[in-house]
A and B are shown apart, each in its own frame.
Chain A
Amino acid sequence: MVIEEIQGDFMQQFIKQLAKDNDFKSTSLLSILRAIQTRYFHIPKEAIEQLAELLNIPRTQIQNVIAFYSFFHFEPRGKYDILISSSITDLMVGQEELINYFSEKLDVKIGEVRADSVVSLNNTSCTGMCDQSLAGLVNGYAITKLTKARIDEIVENVNKQLPLEKWSRDLFDVQDNIIKPDLLLNQKPTQGEAINATFARGLMETLNEVEKSGLRGRGGAGYTTAWKWKFCHEENADQRYIVCNADEGEPGTFKDRVLLNSYADSVFEGMTVAAAIIGATQGFIYLRGEYLHLYEKLEAILAARRNANLLGKNILQHGFDFDIEICLGAGAYICGEESALIESLEGKAGIPRNRPPYPVVSGYLNKPTSVNNVETFLAAANIAIHGGEWFANLGTAKSKGTKVLSISGDCAKVGIYEYAFGTTIQTILNDCGASDVLGVQVGGPSGTFISNDEFERKIAFEDLATGGSFIVFNNSRNILDIVHNFSHFFAHESCGFCTPCRVGTSLLKKQVDKIVEGHGSAGDIVALEELCQLIKNYSHCGLGQTAANPVLTTLERYPELYQSMLKKISYEPGFDLDKSLETARRMAHRDDAHAHLAQVED
């Protein structure tokens, strides 16, 4: 009791200091909660109460944030909280067997905390390490290339309660794997080059160059970057914001991880150029929680840029002030959607806003805000130096320049490839050493699955638009396993705001399970497609509007595969009748023939 009181006192002091360090701003809620979670392995109830008072926000806002983000917990996780990525590329390297091995060796069930509170284990959505699967996170830090041997090492570390700093660095090794650099990845501009070029040419003249370059958003949606900046600039406001979307959560993509690891200076320079053009003095980089391993490095780069007067007051004597703050996410795919990201920056659950107004009119704290992808800023910095034409010379009429792809799955050389827009899938497959290919998931689960009849199609906004995810599947793979994995992903990541997505993605998951598990009957494919259309056409944001794509794009190409899974009966119920009697059998201590029911009458 006494010890608890002392601990309670310590916690109170700790939280008070945290709130103070964050100027008692509710916009810092995620970062405050992250610190509490790290220290206490959960967010204690008393902490919620204290924070509500200190930040002057309702306790329900804090509760909602904890419940919303995967990396916050009401109940304590283990001192070592281990999460294993469960995306399709992980499953392809034997994720299931390895996590079970992990679970057995650690003596903890998946999803649970070990009795001694030392360790907890669970699955998590794609961690952006598909080029070094099997990957995971230990207390938020990326661990890669997990094998049984590496798992043994981790188990030993955990059981010895060895501090993370003392674990072999090799476990945390993250490779860039840049295989094919092109226009952008070959540039190594000097610090300040893009900023100086921008001011030398003139701000509006540089905006014209960005427009001439034809640069479109690299997150996948492809909105013309120059227009976004122009609208943001033209809004009448006393403050504007520039935000770098580094929440790359689309399963299969990891290019922003590499860009931030090796091209961060250029990305920050792109943000600075954009800020000068639109008239922003504050920028944010919203870094997905899974990339915690990059945080310190990025902070150091920002500090170095401040020292070099590339950030801060009167940047390079151009009479322009600007600074960048890093905000970490906490495990929510939806925060890649720009208005959800803004909500998250404001210290709230990531629920996409109603539009209009668009963020360029009313974004962060209701001020004009331009949210752009990491790769967009990288491209913009180089366009500021070399001009629009340099960029527009490559690509197609509607898709200018190059696209950085994250290639994973069944190919010899997984990693980062940069291609001019208009490159065919076949060319890419040849380059990455893929053979006996069944199909490719272009643009991640929210994109398109293309079959091996379509490899002459091109990477371009007008053909196969992509944020960068490119997953190759060979003929040993089962398409329905892929669809099953993606359907579960979307149901898990739906924010739940609107009915069609909240209920629909869960219904879709169940319907896919039913068919994959062989319980589907004649009407189930029609029901599946009808449900897909409903989710696609009525959902509030891009997540819901694309959540049915895995089913729709494969159903269109492989209808016979779905049909082959169906039972040859006219109707089968959606639930397992016999299984639902299990509790009754257990209670009645019966297991005779009469205690079982056939699913369908003979």
Chain B
Amino acid sequence: MSKTIVIDGKVIPFEDGQTIIQAATAAGVYIPHLCHNPKFTPNGSCKLCTVKVNGRNCSACTFPASEGQNITNISEELNDDREKITQMLFVEGNHFCPSCEKTGNCNLQAVAYHLGMTDNHFPHFFENREVDASHPDVMIDHNRCIFCTLCVRASQQEDGKNVFAISGRGIEKRLVVNSESGLLKDSDLDVNDCAAHICPTGAILIKRTGYNVPIGQRIFDHAHIDTVALAAEGASHDE
């Protein structure tokens, strides 16, 4: 008999050491998330994957699955609150989907659609954030960074480098580049690095590839993020 947890009434098996989101994904249950990627050490910062475990809020990406957990993943309350957390990410940065190259391929945008977000709800911060276009092949648009640390982790854990970090406190947090000048061109980032391709928003983009895939033929133009995520992340679990 394998051990099980219950998510929204569905009995789901898990193995020791698995987090709730790992067990859920393996069983074909989608839990909304942005900073989680099964390839890398979980971070637990975006809080979109918050589920109720026996009535208590926990981040599914970091909380270990264990026997006796009765988990709520889909409820009006959780959905509303996840939508508001997503809206927080939108007002904190400067996200203009219609003019962003990432539109249609963007996890932030796709999660927002998934949660039924139709406005920004909160007042905008209109922060001045910069663009680093110094690197020959890759650019950073800080306006779109949501501090998920995926590029940080990808660079460390996949590329064996240490190109990115998050620096600063509170609302002053910024993505920083590990080079003496602080510019991307002086770092050892290569266009083929995983870190250059992992960004869930349009904060890190590959130059000269803009609109290679026309709008209408992009990932989320024809599929919802739950199906896309389960297909991609379920597969990478099996590896």
Residues of A within 8 A of B103 (CB): none
Q: Mark A375-391, 1 if CB is under 8 A from B, else 0.
A: 00000000000000000
Q: Mark B51-84, 1 if CB is under 8 A from A, else 0.
A: 0000001010010100000000000000001001
Q: Is the CB of A496 within 8 A of B167?
A: no
Q: How far is the CB of B147 from chain A (nearest CB, A)?
A: 7
Residues of B within 8 A of A506 (CB): 92, 125, 170-171
Q: Is the CB of B167 within 8 A of A492?
A: no
Residues of A within 8 A of B46 (CB): 498-499
Q: Is the CB of A60 within 8 A of B169?
A: no
Q: A63-B176, A354-B44, A538-B57 are in contact. Are A495 and B50 (CB under 8 A)?
A: no
Q: Is the CB of A503 within 8 A of B89?
A: yes
Q: A60-B167, A496-B172, A540-B44 are in contact. Are A503 and B88 (CB under 8 A)?
A: yes
Among B44, B62, B84, B147, max chain A CB count under 10 A is at B84
B224 at the interface (CB under 8 A from A): no
Q: Is the CB of A63 within 8 A of B44?
A: no
Q: A356-B64, A506-B170 are in contact. Are A497 and B123 (CB under 8 A)?
A: no
What is the bound-complex CA distance between A492 and B169, given in angstroms?
A: 8
What is the bound-complex CA distance between A507 and B90, given in angstroms?
A: 13
B213 at the interface (CB under 8 A from A): no
B173 at the interface (CB under 8 A from A): yes
B102 at the interface (CB under 8 A from A): no
Q: Mark B160-196, 1 if CB is under 8 A from A, else 0.
A: 0010111111111100111010000000000000000
What is the bound-complex CA distance between A502 and B50, given in angstroms?
A: 16
Contact of B81 among A49, A63, A537 (CB under 8 A): A537
Q: Is the CB of B88 within 8 A of A500?
A: yes
Residues of B within 8 A of A493 (CB): 170
Residues of A within 8 A of B177 (CB): 60
Contact of A575 among B89, B123, B146, B172 (CB under 8 A): B123
| CB < 8 Å A-B pair total | 111
Residues of B within 8 A of A67 (CB): 167-169, 172
Q: Mark A67-79, 1 if CB is under 8 A from B, else 0.
A: 1110000000000
Contact of B180 among A59, A64, A538 (CB under 8 A): A59
Residues of B within 8 A of A494 (CB): 169-171
Residues of A within 8 A of B169 (CB): 67-69, 332, 349, 494-496
A310 at the interface (CB under 8 A from B): no
B157 at the interface (CB under 8 A from A): no
Q: How far is the CB of A533 from chain B (nearest CB, A)?
A: 8
B42 at the interface (CB under 8 A from A): yes
Q: How far is the CB of A586 from chain B (nearest CB, A)?
A: 19
Contact of B178 among A59, A498, A507 (CB under 8 A): A59
Residues of A within 8 A of B40 (CB): none
Q: Is the CB of B85 within 8 A of A496?
A: no
Q: Mark A502-517, 1 if CB is under 8 A from B, else 0.
A: 1111110010000000
What is the bound-complex CA distance between A496 and B146, given in angstroms?
A: 11
Give the size of the chain B interface in residues (CB under 8 angstroms).
38
A61 at the interface (CB under 8 A from B): yes
Q: How far is the CB of B149 from chain A (nearest CB, A)?
A: 10
B162's closest neighbor in chain A, by CB?
Answer: A58
What is the bound-complex CA distance between A575 and B64, given in angstroms?
A: 43
What is the bound-complex CA distance between A500 and B47, given in angstroms?
A: 7
Contact residues, A34-78 vs B (CB, 8 A)? 49, 58-61, 63-64, 67-69
Residues of A within 8 A of B166 (CB): 64
Contact residues, B110-133 vs A (CB, 8 A)? 122-123, 125
What is the bound-complex CA distance between A382 and B64, given in angstroms?
A: 39
Q: Is the CB of A354 within 8 A of B81?
A: no
What is the bound-complex CA distance between A226 and B59, given in angstroms?
A: 29
A491 at the interface (CB under 8 A from B): yes
A111 at the interface (CB under 8 A from B): no
Residues of B within 8 A of A575 (CB): 123
Q: A67-B172, A503-B88, A506-B170 are in contact. Are A58 and B123 (CB under 8 A)?
A: no
Among B47, B48, B50, B91, max chain A CB count under 10 A is at B47
A534 at the interface (CB under 8 A from B): yes
Residues of B within 8 A of A502 (CB): 92, 147, 170-171, 173
Q: Is the CB of A499 within 8 A of B171?
A: no
Contact of A499 among B62, B89, B164, B180 (CB under 8 A): B89
A574 at the interface (CB under 8 A from B): yes
Contact of A503 among B42, B167, B168, B171 (CB under 8 A): B171
Contact of A498 among B47, B64, B123 (CB under 8 A): B47
Q: Is the CB of A499 within 8 A of B85?
A: yes
Q: A67-B172, A354-B42 are in contact. Are A507 and B165 (CB under 8 A)?
A: no
Q: A499-B88, A538-B81 are in contact. Are A61 and B165 (CB under 8 A)?
A: yes
Q: Is the CB of B170 within 8 A of A492?
A: yes
B45 at the interface (CB under 8 A from A): yes
What is the bound-complex CA distance between A149 and B126, given in angstroms?
A: 43
What is the bound-complex CA distance between A491 and B169, given in angstroms?
A: 10
Residues of A within 8 A of B59 (CB): 354, 540
Q: A354-B62, A574-B123 are in contact. Are A496 and B147 (CB under 8 A)?
A: yes
What is the bound-complex CA distance between A67 and B170, given in angstroms?
A: 10
Q: Is the CB of B64 within 8 A of A507?
A: no
Residues of B within 8 A of A492 (CB): 170
Contact of A504 among B50, B88, B147 (CB under 8 A): B88
Q: Is the CB of A60 within 8 A of B178?
A: yes
Contact of B170 among A58, A491, A510 (CB under 8 A): A491
Q: Is the CB of B85 within 8 A of A534?
A: yes
Q: How far is the CB of B20 from chain A (nearest CB, A)?
A: 12
Residues of A within 8 A of B44 (CB): 354, 498, 540
Q: Is the CB of B123 within 8 A of A64?
A: no
Q: Is the CB of B57 within 8 A of A537?
A: yes
Residues of A within 8 A of B48 (CB): 499
What is the bound-complex CA distance between A356 and B58, given in angstroms?
A: 11
Q: Is the CB of A503 within 8 A of B92?
A: yes
Residues of A within 8 A of B164 (CB): 60
What is the bound-complex CA distance between A495 and B168, given in angstroms?
A: 8
Residues of B within 8 A of A58 (CB): 162, 165, 178
Residues of B within 8 A of A (CB): 42, 44-48, 50, 57, 59, 62, 64, 81, 84-85, 88-89, 91-92, 122-123, 125, 146-147, 162, 164-173, 176-178, 180
29 A-B interface contacts by CB (under 8 A)? A58-B162, A59-B178, A59-B180, A60-B167, A63-B167, A64-B165, A64-B166, A64-B168, A64-B176, A67-B167, A67-B168, A68-B168, A354-B62, A493-B170, A494-B170, A496-B171, A496-B173, A499-B85, A499-B89, A503-B89, A503-B122, A506-B92, A506-B125, A507-B88, A530-B84, A537-B57, A538-B50, A539-B47, A540-B59
> What 9 A-B pairs come out closest when comparing CB atoms?
A60-B165, A503-B88, A574-B123, A67-B168, A64-B167, A496-B170, A354-B62, A496-B173, A494-B170
For the complex with contacts A58-B178, A499-B47, 19 further pairs of A-B residues with Cβ separation under 8 Å are A60-B162, A60-B164, A68-B167, A69-B169, A493-B170, A494-B169, A496-B169, A496-B170, A496-B171, A498-B46, A499-B88, A499-B146, A500-B85, A503-B91, A507-B123, A510-B123, A534-B81, A538-B57, A538-B81
